[in-house]
């Protein structure tokens, strides 16, 4: 980066001349909330500093991966050592085997795992594998769940049950999404009717068990239990997209949360990202040995990637996964996150502001509503203008929340009790000004 200091506004203007929208991922542009994006110069622990030298307490953590905070010394040492050995080989390494073993140790629903470089790649590959394994074409997703920008998944629901998808992005032919059905999250009647009418044609149902792309919305236990029953009954695969929730909401990921509530519960396939890379480009999909045997070079389902299992990324991810297994890690992380959300609800109430909140492990969400939304439509109806004002009031006090109402937030192990208390105090000040 240049050593000449520039303002965020000047950098954004410069960026827009050479990068579409001035950003390399849309939500960073602040379009949902308005204003000027902060250009990050460096980060450490629970903080980052922008181009103007302003420090922010970071509650997005690179959208989830930085569960240990930024620049954890053990992770940094592992990455530096790996980089000295080489950036990329295009050949197998022992460390990618170790990372696969570590993931499978924590995810009893799977027996084998394939490493890739992004959540989009993992989700796309999981669908291809589900179609190849079942010999079926149709897939089911839920409105408000985001599984990456693969063509077949860039679909929204229309009105009524099981509306066939229409592309939500230019450049995606209607023919590509004709086999994608989009249903309402947490709607048992819709999923029952979809399977009753088309169950023999459905290859898989893909779901974020705890959705982080419509803020923070859980799949209810009855909904998840019925989903599992229907997939089993009709021979469809239940695919858990845990790119965001994996190793973030619990050591065993969201599927372990549901396994505690539903005896014998397990998905057929799991998609991971973010935390397993510790902030480096790394993702994975995992399933039984029988399912994974359909992948090349063993089977007819092709998937490949030059940078898959990258030696620097696996060093980062492996060290991160080992640290989060230490005794008490998730207990403390969950307590800090609940403390933040409980604090928000209390000070909002003190200020006469209606607010509800939820969290699991190190992932959280809050809504300017009197009850927690259960699907995308109810999320969309809740307090966008209020959130935007709140976001900027917090930003002005050095607290960086997700710059859109439809994104979950994240607490790291580096956030101290004082950081949480200071953030709640900032929220109290913001709520009084709404």
Structure tokens given for 19: 């990068």
Specify whether the CB–CB gap between 417 and 384 falls below 8 A. Answer: no
The span from the CA of 324 to the CA of 342, in Å, is 24
The span from the CA of 279 to the CA of 295, in Å, is 27
The span from the CA of 270 to the CA of 292, in Å, is 12
* Residues classed as catalytic: 146, 241, 274
What is the distance of C-alpha 271 from the center of its chain? 10
CB-facing half-sphere around the CA of 253: CA atoms within 13 A: 29
The span from the CA of 154 to the CA of 157, in Å, is 10
Specify whether the CB–CB gap between 313 and 281 falls below 8 A. Answer: yes
Structure tokens given for 420: 């949480």
Specify whether the CB–CB gap between 362 and 337 falls below 8 A. Answer: yes
**Alpha carbon of 68 to those of 116, 250, 256, 341, 417: distances in Å?**
22, 14, 21, 19, 15
The span from the CA of 392 to the CA of 124, in Å, is 35
């Amino acid at each position: 980066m240049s050593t000449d200091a520039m303002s965020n506004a000047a950098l954004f203007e410069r960026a827009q001349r050479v990068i579409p929208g001035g950003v390399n991922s849309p939500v960073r542009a602040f379009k949902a909330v308005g204003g000027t994006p902060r250009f990050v110069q460096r980060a450490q622990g629970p903080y980052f500093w922008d181009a103007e030298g302003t420090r922010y307490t970071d509650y997005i953590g690179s959208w989830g991966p930085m569960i240990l905070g930024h620049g954890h010394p053990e992770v940094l040492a592992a990455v530096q050592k790996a980089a000295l050995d080489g950036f990329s080989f295009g050949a197998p390494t022992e460390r990618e085997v170790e990372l696969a073993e570590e993931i499978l140790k924590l995810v009893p629903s799977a027996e084998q795992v394939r490493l890739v470089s992004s959540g989009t790649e993992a989700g796309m590959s999981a669908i291809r594998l589900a179609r190849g394994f079942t010999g079926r074409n149709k897939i089911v997703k839920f409105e408000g769940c985001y599984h990456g920008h693969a063509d077949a998944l860039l679909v929204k629901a229309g009105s009524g049950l099981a509306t066939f998808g229409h592309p939500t992005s230019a450049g995606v032919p209607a023919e590509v999404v004709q086999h994608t059905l989009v249903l309402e999250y947490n709607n048992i009647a819709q999923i029952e009717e979809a399977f009753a009418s088309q169950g023999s044609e459905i290859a898989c149902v893909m779901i974020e068990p705890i959705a982080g792309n419509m803020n923070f919305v859980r799949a209810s236990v009855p909904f998840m239990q019925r989903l599992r029953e229907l997939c089993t009954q009709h021979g469809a695969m239940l695919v858990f997209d845990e790119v965001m929730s994996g190793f973030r909401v619990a050591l065993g990921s969201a599927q372990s949360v549901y396994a505690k509530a539903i005896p014998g519960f397990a998905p057929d396939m799991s998609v991971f990202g973010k935390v397993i890379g510790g902030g480096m480009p790394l993702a994975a999909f995992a399933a039984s040995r029988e399912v994974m045997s359909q992948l090349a070079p063993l089977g007819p389902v092709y998937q490949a990637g030059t940078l898959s299992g990258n030696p620097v990324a696996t060093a980062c991810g492996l060290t991160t996964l080992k640290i989060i297994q230490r005794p008490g890690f998730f207990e403390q992380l969950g307590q800090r996150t609940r403390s933040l959300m409980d604090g928000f609800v209390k000070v909002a109430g003190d200020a006469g502001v209606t607010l509800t909140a939820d969290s699991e492990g190190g992932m959280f969400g809050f809504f300017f509503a009197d009850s927690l939304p259960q699907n995308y439509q109810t999320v969309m109806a809740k307090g966008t203008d209020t959130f935007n004002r709140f976001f900027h009031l917090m930003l002005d006090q050095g607290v960086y929340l997700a710059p859109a109402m439809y994104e979950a937030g994240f607490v790291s192990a580096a956030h101290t009790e004082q950081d949480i208390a200071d953030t709640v105090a900032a929220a109290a000040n913001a709520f009084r000004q709404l």
